[in-house]
């Protein structure tokens, strides 16, 4: 059975754990990220442990043509993408008007534009074969505005909406789209996004646990998966009924630094 998964942001964190899960089930991989050394180390680990084939593609998804280059590389290698896992993404801390606009533009490119582009390219083959699965790694941030992370929260709201919309469009096919929406996760995301000292990472989940939740939800074709029941209840049954100002104040408090 053909069962190749392309994973963006595969060099560490949730992406690497998702790759490990897929390899453990006998699936081949296309590993995409910027750090070639980390990708090659993961490739060796998974090929040796599970006897699968992993292909490394180094790419910076902040570049406008990255998705096209990644897809062209898979086509040139004769690789069929059966599962697409859009995991790459990053955040950043601070008031929007005080942040470097170029960094937020790069964030939008990675978190939204490149995600949309690689999804569009991959879907053509999936729909024609009437088979395929897509997992978008979004965030619980996609359920509310995020003062001090305004652009990041907005990009994740886009991903949550986009994933569900295309899932409905694909409902008459055997292709599914799932949005994984974790809360805080203990990865390099915190340091990379200048988020050290914010309270919401005090009880962060492990990347392995989050990846397992997401992978299983994707395989079942679930629409949206939040990894914590308490967060799911809060976001679906409490937050929608609170005054907007209260939601904004609470959201900002979780992003304020203690140091």
Q: Is the pLDDT of residue 152 over 70?
A: yes
Q: Is the pLDDT of residue 258 over 70?
A: no
- Tens digits of residue pLDDT in 116-139: 999 999 999 999 999 999 999 999
CA angle 25, 28, 34 (to 5 degrees): 120
In whole angstroms, give the CA distance from residue 113 to residue 111.
7
DSSP of 153-221: HHHHHHHHHHHHHHHHHTTTTTEEEEEE--S-B-STHHHHTT-TTBGGGTTPBPHHHHHHHHHHHHHHT
Per-residue pLDDT at 196: 52
Per-residue pLDDT at 250: 85
Helix 66-76 vs helix 114-129: crossing angle, to nearest 10: 30
In whole angstroms, give the CA distance from residue 87 to residue 110.
10
Closest C-alpha among 178, 184, 148 to residue 165:
178
In whole angstroms, give the CA distance from residue 14 to residue 24.
15
Burial (Cβ within 10 Å: 0-12, 13-18, ≥19) of residue 63: middle
Give the rounded distance of the alpha carbon of 112 from its chain centre.
10
In whole angstroms, give the CA distance from residue 234 to residue 239.
6
H or E stretch covering 60:
none
Contact 88, 35 (CB under 8 A): no
- Tens digits of residue pLDDT in 155-176: 999 999 999 999 999 999 999 9
Q: Is the pLDDT of residue 88 over 50?
A: yes
Q: Is the pLDDT of residue 1 over 50?
A: no
Contact 41, 34 (CB under 8 A): no
4-255 — its CATH code? 3.40.50.720
Contact 135, 221 (CB under 8 A): no
User: Does the annotation count 50 as an active-site position?
Assistant: no
Q: Is 16 helix (H, G, I), strand (E, B) or coil?
A: helix
Question: Taking residues 142-164, what's their average pLDDT?
Answer: 96
Say which residues have a Cβ less than 8 Å from residue 241's Cβ, sequence separation at least 6.
none
- Tens digits of residue pLDDT in 13-59: 999 999 999 999 999 999 999 999 999 999 999 999 999 999 999 99
Q: Is the pLDDT of residue 223 over 90?
A: yes
Q: pTM higher than 0.75, yes or no? A: yes
- Tens digits of residue pLDDT in 183-208: 887 765 555 545 555 555 456 788 99
Q: Is 48 helix (H, G, I), strand (E, B) or coil?
A: helix
Alpha helices in 87-149 (DSSP H): 101-108, 114-129
Contact 194, 94 (CB under 8 A): yes
């Amino acid at each position: 059975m053909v069962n190749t998964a392309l994973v963006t942001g595969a060099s560490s964190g949730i992406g690497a754990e998702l790759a490990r899960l897929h390899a453990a089930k006998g699936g081949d991989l296309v590993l995409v990220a910027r750090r070639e050394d980390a990708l090659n180390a993961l490739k060796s680990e998974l090929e040796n442990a599970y006897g699968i084939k992993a292909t490394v593609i180094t790419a910076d998804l902040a570049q406008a043509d990255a998705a096209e280059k990644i897809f062209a590389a898979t086509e040139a290698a004769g690789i069929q993408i059966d599962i697409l896992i859009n995991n790459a993404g990053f955040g950043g801390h601070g008031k929007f008007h005080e942040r470097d606009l170029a960094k937020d533009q790069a964030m939008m490119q990675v978190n939204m534009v490149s995600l949309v582009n690689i999804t569009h390219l991959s879907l053509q083959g999936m729909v024609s074969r009437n088979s395929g699965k897509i997992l978008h790694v979004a965030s619980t941030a996609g359920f509310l505005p995020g003062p001090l992370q305004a652009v990041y929260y907005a990009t994740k709201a886009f991903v949550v909406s986009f994933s569900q919309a295309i899932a409905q469009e694909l409902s008459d096919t055997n292709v599914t789209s799932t949005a994984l929406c974790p809360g805080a996760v203990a990865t390099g995301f915190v340091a990379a996004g200048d988020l050290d000292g914010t309270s919401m990472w005090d009880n962060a989940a492990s990347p392995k646990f989050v990846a397992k939740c997401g992978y299983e939800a994707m395989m079942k074709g679930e629409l949206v998966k939040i990894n914590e029941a308490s967060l799911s209840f809060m976001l679906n049954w409490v937050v929608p009924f609170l005054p907007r100002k209260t939601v904004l104040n609470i959201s900002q408090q979780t992003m304020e630094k203690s140091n």
